[in-house]
Homo-oligomer: A and B are copies of this chain.
């Protein structure tokens, strides 16, 4: 059920993004289209599924779902730059600065971030402008200098720090780098319905952390071919990760506990929350 839904979500979001970018024939739009291809679409899934849970129709929810995928794609394009993580492979394809050049990668990321806000504030999201303003405002807070970008800055600073980070610091850092966009995605549904965002906020926070621990486990145990990116990077860079701090077995147990915590937060939704429970299982069982 979950996998079929994730695939459908991927198609829906891709179609909307293609439709928006296809009207533009220049090379920038072409490179933007390249950068938003592929990926798991987990963030879009969270938007669409939490919207469905709150009775929001999919044609509306596809806009914030595409917004968060544009935001995520921009962060990957910039993170992959030579001056950042210096990656040449992403989602099994050459990164944007490898396929084009660094200037194009900077501009593609910049334009994708703006596109994310255009989609989140788009009239098609909702007839209620208060909802569009809320979505855009909270997206900015989640993505910016107190959220995702700060997490990335702290992650880069950690690479040259004298002492390895401790568990509390890494948890905070990852909460910003990965968790903030998960939180926005999973609360988009109740936000669009003007409902309580607290239960799905708790779900997202546990899910985001489980996702990151699973990423660290994947970095050690994963198959680079399946993952579509270089692995064993953190270890070779001597970076502190959940695995290096907790050990592999304890990290796996912690990820399992967080999945249970995420699932428990869905109690209020009863059986309707089952697909989100499956999604929580998925984030620690994935091989990509």
Contact = CB atoms under 8 A, between A and B. Distances in A.
B149 A121 contact: no
A238 interface: no
A59 to B, nearest CB: 18
B118 A144 contact: yes
Nearest to A102: B83
A144 B112 CA distance: 7
A114 B153 CA distance: 15
A136 to B, nearest CB: 4
A258 interface: no
Contacts of A147: 114
Interface stretch (A24-32, A40-48, A239-247): A24-32
A130 interface: yes
Contact of A106 (B81, B141, B144, B157): B81
Interface in A123-167: 123, 129-130, 132-134, 136-137, 139-141, 143-147, 149-150, 152-154, 156-157
A72 interface: no
A122 B136 CA distance: 9
A113 interface: yes
A107 B153 contact: yes
A103 interface: yes
Nearest to A154: B26
B78 A153 contact: no
Nearest to A109: B110
Contacts of A149: 28, 107, 110-111, 114
A83 B106 contact: yes
Contact of A141 (B118, B136, B156): B118
Interface centre among A133, A139, A146 (most CB of B within 10 A): A133
Interface centre among A27, A28, A78, A103 (most CB of B within 10 A): A103
Contacts of A156: 103, 107
A101 interface: yes
Nearest to A97: B83
Given A102-B83, A133-B129, A141-B118, A26 B153 contact: yes
In the A-B complex, the 8 residue pairs with the smallest Cβ-Cβ separation, listed nearest first, are A114-B144, A111-B145, A83-B102, A118-B140, A129-B130, A121-B137, A132-B133, A117-B140
Interface of A: 24, 26-29, 32, 74, 78, 81, 83-84, 101-104, 106-107, 109-115, 117-118, 121-123, 129-130, 132-134, 136-137, 139-141, 143-147, 149-150, 152-154, 156-157
